[in-house]
Amino acid sequence: MTNPTCNEKAIQIFMELSPYFQGLGDPIRQQIVALLIDKESMNVTQIAEHIPMSRPTVSHHLKILKQAGLVNVQKKGTEMFYRLEITEAIRLFKQLVTFVEEECR
């Protein structure tokens, strides 16, 4: 078995990153992620106070971020609290940058 080329390896990493790119592909979701960077967790109402969208629209964007693996949800009483879960995404982004810098020159 031969080693993958730089192109093949980069495509493999991009495929793993694809859900994160899709999750971050909207300016509203980017705003939500930026908002959650400074907070341990927030509920939909708290997030909607900072985002110029309705609660249902914010909920929709949170659902997409959750599906992408960028946030997780914890229920506290009757409230759902969202917090960033970006450790794996950061690891893959770092892997891509390191790979391109060191292996594909």
pLDDT, tens only, 6-64: 788 888 999 999 999 999 999 999 999 999 999 999 999 999 999 989 999 999 999 99
State the pLDDT confidence band at 1, using cuts at 50, 70 and 90: very low
Any long-range contacts for 9-14 (C-beta under 8 Å, 24+ apart)?
A: 9/99, 9/103, 10/96, 10/99, 10/100, 10/104, 13/92, 13/95, 13/96, 13/99, 14/96
pTM: 0.85
In a domain, 96, yes or no: yes
The residue range of the domain holding 54 is 6-100
Q: Domain of 40: which CATH number?
A: 1.10.10.10
In a domain, 105, yes or no: no
In a domain, 72, yes or no: yes
User: Average pLDDT in the 63-70 region?
Assistant: 97
**How many domains are contained in the chain?**
1
